[in-house]
Structure 1
């Protein structure tokens, strides 16, 4: 694309930052506009609350599943860059029944099955493979720094209606508002809903592997970060807007994690764990799955603008970020070729 193309991105979560970095590296003039940026914490700014790690899983969209594998390769390469906060660890994953997808056919680092005699109670299937975990605050700051170093601009402000982002010579607006796509004027996607997540942060630098147990009604996970902080989770509570941590649930999470990984407490009581914090976030879920598509919108009489929607990633934001944002970038490039003669030039709202 040409550096004459100006893009405003709404939202500075992992999806907005990654989209912005890719577009800026491709030679565009990009500005990210958001209420919140890395370092800020708000219940509607989902990215800082994530675990986060990459694991083998499937979504409801087969095409979208390809994004997992592509993003894994990028994150794995980035684990060799210390500033990203991404590290490689072994991941032990247990299921109460064999998953529908054939995990053993997946081509990932050191993937192998776990013998049945080594499985925890209630688990019927297990695998171990090399994964990556992400120190989320550090990684978000790295993405922002990379974006700014590539020439990208930022502006901290609230956007009430998507048309407000078509300012000056802006040709394209990218909607990366996550959960806020439900209330953003001009979008107001009623299929978007929150899935509450709750985790407990503990100090446990001796834990050097990821553990995940997937039962029918609950998922338990232990995610070490490079700093020595370990994230214990979790829940997936759909349509729950409560932003306060449930301390009873937090204790249940701790007990589940200690049972899954006795190394966590190293023979001591769970009460001896050093708790660093209780975290609650709203995963940006969507009835029809992630929305990545182009919309041509009339901004004012006789003037159209290109909007690229890239939101609704549920709990897959980090795990699919590079591939889903690359897909959005591809759609933008195609839209520019198709609609360039009709792009907004020198218009002010």
Structure 2
């Protein structure tokens, strides 16, 4: 008999994990407090930047983390070819100011031999607005951006197509979740539970609570359209936790963001930060207010601002197994980028458990 698995959480990590387990032949049910279409401060998947790149990319990442990213990179490029997925290929440009350099002799990110169409940008091509930022290195590559709301609905649809049931419910423990495998109209006991509950994952694994690391982010969605994905690492010594991400969405508008406030779970919008984000975006992507490009308006037209708390973890993401309990949470700002790689790791843990049980 196929093993029954309950996945807790319907963010990008939970949905991707459920889909991967189903692909491998397991019976899967999703139990989640929030589902795609909901709005909540700790349900941050709908408001993520959602593209291929993050803070660790200037450093040499461990081989396991690199494999996770590589798996997701190529899967998202494949998904970008599917109509309605919310994923789109984009030219990505990264600008590295001197204050962000992590090593001398830096000659590019760890993934330069992995991504498509990688090249160093000639300084003569730098945007005019970058003149005061002391940019010492820049590169471009073929990346992708994701409209997270559309993509989450796409994932949920794919889950339903695969026969995955889901139920809206708040669970207080992994033991409770184990009783909530949905079989038709009835709940039966599962063989395994996968904890993909984001920041709430720590509440379900209290042994790990001391590693809880909330990471506050603030985003601004505008109607204006940017030409490409632009990333500028920490630009301002006075605001060391702020970078710039200009993220053109598949289908609608552009997300402007770039904040990582660790150990901060407040939900207040910082008006000063909003203004800095706008000013930086216009320096690197002046086409946002150029009427000759995509008929953009002459000023930034705000759609909404959002403050969310990313599910970070001291020591990095927790992918581990304790008997019938499997954990997959703590990816912070890298959830989309890591999602397929992490789902593959969970699937291997399930497979390893099955093999050990036969010995």
Task: Give the TM-score normalised by structure 2.
Answer: 0.86
| Aligned-partner SS, 2:72 | helix
Contact persistence 1:199–1:233 (CA under 8 A) = yes
Aligned counterparts of 2:107 and 2:66: Cα–Cα separation in 1: 13
User: Partner of 1:301 in structure 2?
Assistant: none
Matched-pair contact (CA < 8 Å) for 1:198–1:280: yes
- In structure 1, which of residues 289, 294, 297 is the aligned counterpart of residue 316 of structure 2? 289
What aligned pairs does 1:59-78 form with structure 2 within 5 A after superposition? 61-78=62-79
Partners of 2:244 and 2:258 within 8 A in 1: yes
Query: Which contiguous aligned blocks of 4+ residues in structure 1 show a shift greater than 6 angstroms?
Result: 267-271
- Residue 77 and residue 246 in structure 1: after superposition, are their counterparts in 2 closer, same or farther (change >3 A)? same
Secondary structure of 2:10's partner?
Answer: coil
CA apart distance, 1:272: 2.4
1:148-170: CA deviation from partner (whole Å, max 9, x where unpaired) = 11000101110111111111331
Aligned length: 329
Tell me if 1:134 matches 2:142: no
How far the C-alpha of 1:322 sits from its partner, in A, is: 0.5
User: For residues 219 and 16 of structure 1, do their structure 2 counterparts lie closer, same or farther at Cα, with a shift above 3 Å needed?
Assistant: same
Q: Please list, as runs of the form range in 1=range in 2, the aligned pairs for 1:251-330 lying within 5 A after superposition.
A: 251-266=275-290, 272-296=299-323, 306-330=324-348
Partners of 2:118 and 2:61 in 1: how far apart? Answer: 23
Give the structure 2 partner of residue 344 of structure 1: none
C-alpha deviation, 1:231, in angstroms: 0.1
Shift of 1:185: 5.8
Match of 2:108 in 1: 103
Question: What CA deviation, in whole Å up to 9, does each residue of 1:18-39 have, x standing for no partner?
Answer: 0000111222111110100100
For residues 27 and 333 of structure 2, the distance between their equivalents in structure 1, rounded to whole angstroms, comes to 30
For structure 1, the 5+ residue unaligned runs are 297-305, 342-349
Q: Check if 1:182 corresponds to 2:202.
A: yes
Q: Is the 8 A contact 1:292 1:328 kept in 2?
A: yes
Q: What is the Cα deviation at residue 141 of structure 1? A: 0.4
Q: Distance in 2 between matches of 1:27 and 1:224?
A: 36
Which stretch shows the higher mean deviation, 30-39 or 250-259? 250-259
In the alignment, the residues of structure 2 paired with residue 188 and residue 37 of structure 1 have an alpha-carbon distance, to the nearest angstrom, of: 25
Q: Secondary structure at the match of 2:37?
A: coil
**Alpha-carbon distance in structure 1 between the residues aligned to 2:163 and 2:207:** 29
Distance change in 2, residues 1:288/1:108 (3 Å): same
Q: Normalised by the size of structure 1, how large is the TM-score?
A: 0.88
Correspondent of 1:215 among 219, 231, 234:
234
CA deviation after TM superposition for structure 1 residue 59, in Å: 7.5
**Structure 2 CA distance for partners of 1:159 and 1:60, relative to 1, 3 Å:** farther
Q: CA deviation at 1:267?
A: 8.1
| Separation of aligned partners in 2, 1:59 and 1:42 | 34
Query: Equivalents in 2 of 1:187, 1:335: separation in Å?
Result: 21
Give the distance between the partners of 2:114 and 2:213, measured in 1 at CA. 33
Of 236, 261, 268, the match for 2:260? 236
Unaligned 5+ runs, structure 2: 180-187
Q: Report SS of the residue matched to 2:326.
A: strand
CA-based RMSD of the aligned residues comes to 2.2
> Does the C-alpha gap of structure 1 residues 35 and 59 become closer, same or farther in structure 2, counting only changes over 3 Å?
farther
1:285-309 CA-to-partner distances (Å, cap 9, x unmatched) read 111101111112xxxxxxxxx1111
State the shift of 1:248 in Å: 2.3
Change (3 A) 1:215 1:186: closer
The answer to whether 1:173 aligns with 2:193 is yes
